[in-house]
């Protein structure tokens, strides 16, 4: 959702398990794999958006608090695009991953062996989280 000045706040969720595998979903309208993400709705906090996106896209609930990794500017995509990235390591799912209207396919990948067509910003976030690469403010 864009506000009247073109600001678009989003959340992204790195959903990892104990083996450092990361959840990826292939969106129906795109051919690229992505982690769960979406826009923050009017009147919603980033944390509330994170919970909503996990429920809507993958049917996951947290069993321990998530960690905010950082807030990043994705000016290459849109001048007002900002993404709050959360890391979720303690979670459970109900049944299989949902194949909602947004997600056509879902599975876990080792973070070092990512699926095809992962954007550089996503790769940078994973390197920061799992490989202790320096943090960058830009996507």
Express each pLDDT in 37-71 by its tens digit: 899 999 999 999 999 999 888 888 899 999 999 99
- Amino acid 74: pLDDT: 84
Q: Does residue 136 sit within a domain?
A: no
Q: What is the mean pLDDT of residues 11-18?
A: 94
Q: Does residue 139 sit within a domain?
A: no
Task: Report d(CA 10, CA 114) in Å as an integer.
Answer: 22
Model confidence at 30: pLDDT above 90? no
Model confidence at 5: pLDDT above 70? no
Which residue has 């309208």 as its token pair?
Answer: 29
pLDDT bin (cut points 50, 70, 90) of residue 87 is very high
In terms of residue numbers, what domain contains 34?
8-131
Give the 3-state secondary structure of residue 46: helix
Q: Does residue 16 sit within a domain?
A: yes
Contact 72, 121 (CB under 8 A): yes
Q: Does residue 46 sit within a domain?
A: yes
Q: Does residue 58 sit within a domain?
A: yes
Number of domains into which the chain is organized: 1
Q: What percent of the chain has pLDDT over 70?
A: 89
| 29 Cβ neighbours under 8 A, 6+ residues apart | 102
Q: Does residue 35 sit within a domain?
A: yes
Is this prediction's pTM over 0.85? yes
Q: Does residue 2 sit within a domain?
A: no
Give the 3-state secondary structure of residue 56: helix
Task: Report d(CA 129, CA 111) in Å as an integer.
Answer: 10
- What CATH code is carried by the domain that includes residue 32? 3.90.79.10
């Amino acid at each position: 959702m864009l506000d009247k000045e073109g600001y678009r706040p989003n959340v992204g969720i790195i959903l990892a398990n104990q083996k450092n595998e990361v959840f990826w979903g292939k969106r129906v309208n795109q051919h690229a794999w992505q982690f769960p993400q979406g826009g923050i709705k009017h009147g919603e906090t980033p944390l509330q958006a994170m919970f909503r996106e996990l429920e809507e896209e993958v049917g996951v609930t947290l069993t321990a608090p998530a960690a905010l990794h950082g807030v990043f500017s994705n000016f290459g995509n849109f001048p007002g695009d900002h993404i709050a990235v959360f890391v979720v390591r303690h979670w459970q799912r109900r049944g299989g991953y949902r194949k909602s209207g947004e997600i056509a396919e879902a599975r876990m990948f080792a973070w070092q062996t990512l699926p095809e067509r992962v954007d550089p910003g996503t790769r940078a976030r994973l390197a920061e989280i799992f490989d202790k690469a320096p943090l960058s403010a830009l996507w």
